[in-house]
Every structure is written in C-alpha cells, then in structure tokens.
Amino acid sequence: MKKYYLIFVFSLLSLLFLFPLDTYAYVDSSWHTPWDSSSVNSYTSYGGYWGSWSNRVVGDNTSGEAYIYFNNIQMPQGKNDYLEFPIFVYLQPLNVEAYTDADSDSNNTHTDYHFFGASYTFDGEIGTPEGNTSNVLCTLFPSSDFSPNVVSGVLRCNLNSLTSTFNYLRVRFNRQGSSTLEEYRVFFGTTGWVNFIPHDADVGTNSIVSAQNQTTQAVQDATNAIESQNDILTDSSTSEANSSANSFFSNFGNHTDSHLTNIITAPLTLFNAMTTACTQPIEIPLSFNNLNADNTTLNTGEHINDSTVKIPCYANFWNRNDVQTFRSFWNLLIGVPCIYGLLVLLMKVINNAVDPLNDEIMTMTLDSGQLPYSMELEKEMYRQDIHDDAREIRRNRDGHYGGMLK
C-alpha cells in the first residue's frame, strides 16, 4: 500500500513539474468579442481558443484591427522580454465574387490574396490588473502556408522587460503597402499555450529555426513525393512491361520496402530515437468540417481550410540558463528511479542467464553422455541436494517417519 502511495505521489509530482507553471501559463478560454459575440461563441465549440473577426478592412486603409484577448495570464516572476504563442490567421475576402473568379482563373493566381502578398505586422496592447495599458510590438514567424489566405506560425510580442503582471493581451493586425484585395477581414486563432521568454534567453532563433526546419522538411517531402512518382513510373510501367509477365519471380527484386525488417528492428530503432535530438514538432490536425457545414456561422461562400497545430520541441526551454538548476533536480527526480529500475532489471537478467535451473539453460543439451561433465547430471545433483536437505529438515521437525505417520 505504501509503495503505491509513493508511486502516486511521484506521478503527481511528475505531472506538476512536467508543465512548470512559471513558464507556460494557462489561458482563459473566454474571449472578448467586440463585434459579433454570437458567432465567436459558436467557434469555441470546435476546439482551441479562437479570437474574433476583425471589422471590415478596406483596401485603401493602411491598417485593420482584429483582437485576441488572453485573460488571466499568470506572468512568471522576473523579467520577461518576449511572449510568444502559436497563431492561426485567416484572411477572408469579403468580395466573394471576386474571390471565386480569382480561384477559377488560372491567370489570376492566389498570389493576390496571399497573406504575405502585402506586408503585414502585428502589435498589441497589454493591460494590467490596475487598469494600466502598454503597447507592445509583435512579430509573426510563419511556419507554414496552408492555403493562399491561411497562415500559421508563432507570434512573438516584445514586452520591453516588463516586470509587472498583466491580465490580458490584445493583438492588433496591421497591413503595410497596397494589396489588390479590396475588402477583407481577419480571423485569429490560437491553441491556448503561451511561452514567456526571459531577457537573457537566445531570442530570435527559436521560432525562426523551427520555421526553417519545417520549410526544409516541406521541400524534402515534395522531393520525396516526386521521387516516389518516378519510382512508380519506372517500376510499374517500364520494368514490369519489359519483364516476363505473370512470372512468380517477376516481382522479386522490384520490391524496395522493408516493413518486416522495420517491425523486427523496431526496439533498436526506438533506442536510437531516444538519443536523437528533437527537430520535428508534434502536429495536431484541426478540422473545420463542422464549421464549414454550419451555414449559420459562416457567410455564403466562406470556407476555412483544415490546418495543423504544431507543438514545438522543448529543447529551447530546457537549455535556458535559468532552468539549469531545476533541470539538475529534475534529472535526479526522473533519471535516478529510471536508472535504478533498469539496474534491477539488468541484475535479474544476468541472474537468469547464469542460473543453472533457468529454463534457457535447460535448452542447452550438451549431449554429453561421454563427457566427464554433464549439465543434466549437475542439475539432477542440485535437485537431489535440495531434496535431501528438505527431508532432513522434515525429519528433525517431525521425527524419523515424518508428520504423515503421526
């Protein structure tokens, strides 16, 4: 009972330290909706934390506004120069007819509506519990383009070494330069986690490197897809046509997959993966099928494409200078039990390997009828010794004839 109680407490502590509250603040899911509260409330039922629609943005204007309100942000102690969180931006053309024409016209590409077709920036406003407000400058580090008018990435806001806490953040959307899109509005979404970056951290590399890695991966995926198509063409059309048809051995040699090998060597691959540095974030797909099918929340012709939320690797967090002390303690807390358990398991494995009564040893029949040493004979002698000892103990306890005759 005591052992299970300790395991429970240990698990509880693990969960507590796995998501340190001083870095990843939780965000209230309630959103202020300056324009259309009914539609925003309906969006929240589709998961994530969704911002509001912007007001109508006219092309001649140099800026538009859309807001995300984070409520009840618990700011960690000390100076935090930056705050970052994933963001999902949807740029909606309000002129549906023009959008449809552009979509169907090959000469008028999506570039006109591309989110980065014009230059866009973000800034924001933070408010303190005392009612004070400060302006902050935010920069978007895009990670991927899902469609011509949908962009996801990490938005990083400069807090200018703000030391006091704040209870909301409002992000504002600005456009710089002209765009052929005359009327549109902006829709923000996020996933609810906020990362505070202290002033002494290596700022400026985290999200950019992540975005670069994802871009590189996207290019690699495209290259693989092209090579895969080339392989398909080569194998199925050319090679098969020139080989002996319907032969039992016709497919031998053409097969390049090695699924069976991968399955059998999965434990080894797992060991290898444990020492591999994390470069790919976890991707959580977001589906908007229900939202698109709901005509009451979207205007006619509106469509939100499916997207993916990426949760980055935690190496940047664990490599921070102010986390090293905690990391040492954390390594003791997690690493010592793991290593102790593995050592116990290893000792059991070694004992099983050298145990003369182990079943694996019994499979080693030396066929040694003519040998001076026999494992079977040794084993039988061992059993006889145990039997003799037991008989002696029983005799001393129960008398010469044992307890059965009493």
Asked whether position 359 contacts other proteins by CB under 8 A, the answer is no
Asked whether position 285 contacts other proteins by CB under 8 A, the answer is no
Q: In the stretch 325-344, what mask flags binding to other proteins with x, by CB under 8 A? A: --x--xx--xx--xx--xx-
DSSP sequence for 98-138? HHHHHHH-SSS-GGGG-TTTSEEEEEEEEE-TTS-EEEEEE
Q: In the stretch 212-251, what mask flags binding to other proteins with x, by CB under 8 A? A: ------------------------------------x--x
Q: What is the C-alpha separation between 45 and 59, in angstroms, rounded? A: 32
Structure tokens at 371: 């040998």
Among 281, 286, 291, 297, binds other proteins (CB under 8 A): 281
Residue 79 CB burial class (10 angstroms; 0-12, 13-18, ≥19): middle
Among 360, 370, 372, 403, binds other proteins (CB under 8 A): 360
DSSP 8-state assignment for residue 119: E
User: Among residues 254 and 290, whose Cβ is nearest to other proteins?
Assistant: 254
Asked whether position 270 contacts other proteins by CB under 8 A, the answer is yes
User: What is the nearest approach in angstroms of other proteins to the Cβ of residue 241?
Assistant: 18
User: What is the nearest approach in angstroms of other proteins to the Cβ of residue 222?
Assistant: 19
Q: What is the C-alpha separation between 180 and 41, in angstroms, rounded? A: 32
Asked whether position 269 contacts other proteins by CB under 8 A, the answer is yes
User: What is the nearest approach in angstroms of other proteins to the Cβ of residue 143?
Assistant: 16
Structure tokens at 265: 């060597």
User: Among residues 195 and 297, whose Cβ is nearest to other proteins?
Assistant: 195
Segment contacting other proteins by CB under 8 A, of 138-146, 165-173, 215-223, 312-320: 312-320
β-pair partners for 284 = 309
Provide Rg for the chain, Cα atoms: 33
Structure tokens at 192: 């609810």
User: Helix 2-18 to helix 324-354 angle, to the nearest 10 degrees?
Assistant: 140
Asked whether position 265 contacts other proteins by CB under 8 A, the answer is yes
Q: What is the C-alpha separation between 7 and 212, in angstroms, rounded? A: 41
Residue 324 CB burial class (10 angstroms; 0-12, 13-18, ≥19): exposed
Asked whether position 13 contacts other proteins by CB under 8 A, the answer is no
Among 9, 218, 219, 266, binds other proteins (CB under 8 A): 266
Reduced to 3 states (helix: H, G, I; strand: E, B; else coil), residue 86 is strand
Smallest Cα–Cα separation from 299: which of 183, 146, 178, 148? 183
Among 12, 218, 222, 345, binds other proteins (CB under 8 A): 345
- Structure-token match 């829709």, residue found: 187
User: Among residues 245 and 277, whose Cβ is nearest to other proteins?
Assistant: 277
Asked whether position 11 contacts other proteins by CB under 8 A, the answer is no
Contacting residues toward other proteins, per CB under 8 A: 18, 248, 251-253, 255, 257-282, 311, 313-315, 317-318, 327, 330-331, 334-335, 338-339, 342-343, 345-346, 349-350, 352-353, 360-361, 363-368
